[in-house]
């Protein structure tokens, strides 16, 4: 893990912070001296994440927050500012990934995924930016997905939400760059978390075959990229969507014929 001395004392909100990528990011930030605010929906996993960081010598607090709820998101930002005197970093990891054929997808299923993945990202960005803009400092990393680049059967709602996050990131970047704020997103392919590793073994083998590096990514590898984008090492990078895919990049004629069903 790279060391970024400028992170010491910075306040970081991580939504979905008790999930795979979120928790790896929270740990990496805490190891760099940042003060971490974990927001998620599951209180037990929030408590476990906070305890894990504390036992490794880091500083963290947690709060139950549903990112779809504007009042809860506002309360999250207010609590972070009260505790840590500001909010410097926001990492939007909260997300869901459900498998539904498009022709059977109900409006409420479509809406739920869009609400959590896309509207949640919008709300968290807007409420944090209310603090970041006057402070003339802020770094935001959003979670898109390589599934949105490729297209992924059974995931029309997910792909729409993740491609929406790319557009949201670029548009907001245009409005906040003059305030010293950078906004980027990352597009992982398959990373080993409970979001992806619950499906059957045969499907996992099928996914693995198309990855040039021949393996799935680790949450810590996403955390490394996220930290780079939050750090001063990426000082001239904003409005970008960085793929982290083990080499899976361009759709070949052969793979284009296959049904893609990965996140
Ligand atoms: N794992 C992958 O292969 C992969 C690939 C591409 C993108 N992503 C994206 O990365 C992000 C993190 O995913 P992960 O792999 O760590 O999965 P994960 O399931 O381990 O983590 C997601 C977290 O989001 C939380 N969450 C769900 N709904 C929420 C809500 N309404 N409010 C607040 N929190 C909520 C969950 O409780 C969970 O802790 C997601 O946005 C996901 O779409 C993951």
* Domain boundaries of the chain, sorted by first residue: 8-257
What the block records as the tokens of 155 is 């995931």
Ligand 1 neighbourhood includes 218 CB (under 6 angstroms): no
- Dihedrals φ, ψ of 93, to 5°? -100, -10
At the topology level of CATH, where does 8-257 sit? Rossmann fold (3.40.50)
Q: State the pTM of this model.
A: 0.96
Closest CA to 207 of 221, 196, 218, 222: 196
Judged by DSSP in three states, 63 sits in strand
What the block records as the tokens of 129 is 């930016």
Ligand 1 neighbourhood includes 22 CB (under 6 angstroms): yes
Residues annotated as part of the active site: 158
Distance 248 CA to ligand 1 centre (A): 21
pLDDT in tens, 149-186: 999 999 999 999 999 999 999 999 999 999 999 999 99
Confidence of residue 219 (pLDDT cuts 50, 70, 90): very high
pLDDT in tens, 104-126: 999 999 999 999 999 999 999 99
Ligand 1 neighbourhood includes 141 CB (under 6 angstroms): no
For residue 222, the ligand 1 atom closest to its alpha carbon is 10
In DSSP terms, which residues pair with 90 in a beta bridge?
Answer: 13, 140
What the block records as the tokens of 236 is 């001239």
Distance CA 9, CA 105 (A): 45
């Amino acid at each position: 893990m790279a060391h970024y001395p400028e992170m010491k004392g910075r306040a970081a909100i991580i939504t979905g912070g008790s999930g795979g990528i979120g928790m790896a990011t929270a740990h990496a930030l805490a190891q760099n001296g940042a003060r971490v605010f974990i927001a998620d929906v599951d209180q037990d996993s929030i408590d476990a994440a906070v305890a894990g960081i504390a036992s490794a010598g880091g500083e963290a607090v947690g709060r139950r927050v549903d990112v779809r709820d504007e009042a809860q998101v506002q309360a999250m930002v207010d609590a972070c500012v009260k505790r840590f005197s500001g909010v410097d970093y926001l990492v939007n990891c909260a997300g869901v990934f459900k498998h539904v054929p498009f022709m059977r997808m109900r409006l409420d299923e479509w809406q739920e995924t869009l609400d959590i993945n896309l509207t949640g990202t919008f709300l968290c960005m807007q409420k944090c930016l209310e603090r970041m803009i006057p402070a003339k400092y802020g770094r935001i990393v959003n979670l898109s997905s390589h599934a949105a680049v490729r297209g992924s059967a059974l995931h029309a709602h997910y792909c729409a939400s993740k491609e929406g996050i790319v557009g949201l990131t670029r548009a907001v970047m245009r409005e906040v760059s003059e305030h010293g704020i950078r906004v980027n997103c990352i597009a992982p392919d398959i990373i080993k978390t409970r979001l992806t590793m619950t499906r059957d073994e045969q499907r996992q083998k099928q996914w693995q075959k198309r990855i040039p590096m021949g393996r799935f990514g680790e949450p810590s590898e996403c955390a490394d990229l996220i930290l780079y984008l939050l750090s001063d090492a990426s000082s001239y990078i904003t409005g970008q969507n960085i793929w982290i895919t083990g080499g899976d990049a361009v759709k070949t004629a052969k793979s284009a014929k296959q049904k893609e069903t990965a996140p």
